[in-house]
Amino acid sequence: MQPTENFSFELCRETADWLLARTRQRPRIAIICGSGLGPLADSLKNPESFKYMDIPNFPHSTVSGHEGQLLFGELQGKPCVCMKGRFHMYEGYPLWKVTFPIRVLKLLGVETLLVTNAAGALADSYSVGDLMIIRDHINLLGLAGLNPLLGPNEERFGPRFPALSDAYDSQIRALAMDTARLLGYSSFVKEGVYCMVGGPNFESIAEARLLHVLGADAVGMSTAAEVVVARHCGLRVFGISLITNKVTKDYSAKENVDHHGVLEVSRRRASTLQALITALVGRLDSCSSSSGGQKDGETYQNGV
């Protein structure tokens, strides 16, 4: 079982306190930028940035393509915060630490979380460069007993047994599909199921075949754990994957995927994803929460 003794509401509040004291921004939308997708964060207006290594209690990003900065600013006139790089269990972090920033974002006043990632396609109809709006996920780590909510529940964040049948907000997904249509992106924007695996190795052929049979359209090494914690906190969630490679399901195939190839596709498609996210943020309704959960972050922020 993963350790839980280092996670507490007070630890998250200490980090949120530190950030709120050092920025004028009060974000309502948070964006997590996946592998090679950091340029999303660079589009913020009036940015204020903090290196992860300088933020109390924050993990440090160790993966190429994850720069390790928290950026505050405005996107389409709306206060936002971007994680330029995320954390993974394969870096050696327990899942409570991987998802620690999500709870901090909640205490900063964030109400809507947009998560992006680079993923491999399992669905035969997907092509490299496609964008997949995440309809649902398969959290293999969670099914195996590795869940960021393990240990005593913190009621100030959410309930002991959160439901995930509505993990990815249906209204935001519909808005994103419509936004893609308006931008002329419909031909390469899909909607599907994302599967999170532990990594850091890419999947074997037998594993890829299994995941496809289970109903996964794309696979990656992040996102699902973050979404579990975000929903536990009552945040609205939207997720999107950039398809950077086709996962091999054929033993006669000769090509192999590598991280450099993933980053190269991410760099080439980053502007397209940035345009979609930017337009989507501009169309979000006043960032109001549909979760019906307690707004701990807003209450806390107003008391600062």
Is 259 known to be catalytic? Answer: yes
DSSP-derived 3-state class of residue 198: coil
Is 302 known to be catalytic? Answer: no
Burial of residue 207 (CB within 10 Å: 0-12, 13-18, 19+) is: middle
Is 232 known to be catalytic? Answer: no
Q: Using CA atoms, how far apart are residues 195 and 221, in angstroms rounded to an integer?
A: 8
Is 222 known to be catalytic? Answer: yes
Amino acid at 73: G
- Catalytic one of 41, 89, 118, 196: 118
Is 291 known to be catalytic? Answer: no
Is 91 known to be catalytic? Answer: yes
- Catalytic one of 43, 147, 222, 266: 222
- Catalytic one of 14, 48, 74, 91: 91
Report the candidate in 239, 250, 256 with the shortest Cα–Cα distance to residue 201. 256
Question: How many CB atoms are located within 10 Å of the residue 143 CB?
Answer: 9
Q: Using CA atoms, how far apart are residues 289 and 295, in angstroms rounded to an integer?
A: 9
Alpha carbon 162 to its chain centroid, in Å, reads: 18
Is 5 known to be catalytic? Answer: no
Q: Are 173 and 135 in contact (CB under 8 A)?
A: yes
- Catalytic one of 218, 221, 224, 230: 221
Amino acid at 268: R
Is 212 known to be catalytic? Answer: no
Pairing of strands 189-196, 218-220: parallel
- Catalytic one of 14, 48, 60, 90: 90
- Catalytic one of 259, 279, 289, 290: 259
Asked whether the bond before 200 is cis by omega within 30 degrees of 0, the reply is yes
Is 66 known to be catalytic? Answer: yes
- Catalytic one of 16, 88, 230, 298: 88
The position carrying tokens 């680079």 is: 118
- Catalytic one of 66, 137, 212, 232: 66
Query: Measured between alpha carbons, how far is residue 72 from residues 23, 30, 41, 121, 233 in Å?
Result: 8, 9, 9, 32, 21
Structure-token pair, residue 181? 């249509």
Q: Using CA atoms, how far apart are residues 45 and 297, in angstroms rounded to an integer?
A: 23
Phi, psi of 98 (to 5 degrees): -55, -40
Q: Are 119 and 241 in contact (CB under 8 A)?
A: yes
Is 300 known to be catalytic? Answer: no
Residues identified as active-site? 35, 66, 88, 90-91, 118, 221-222, 245, 259
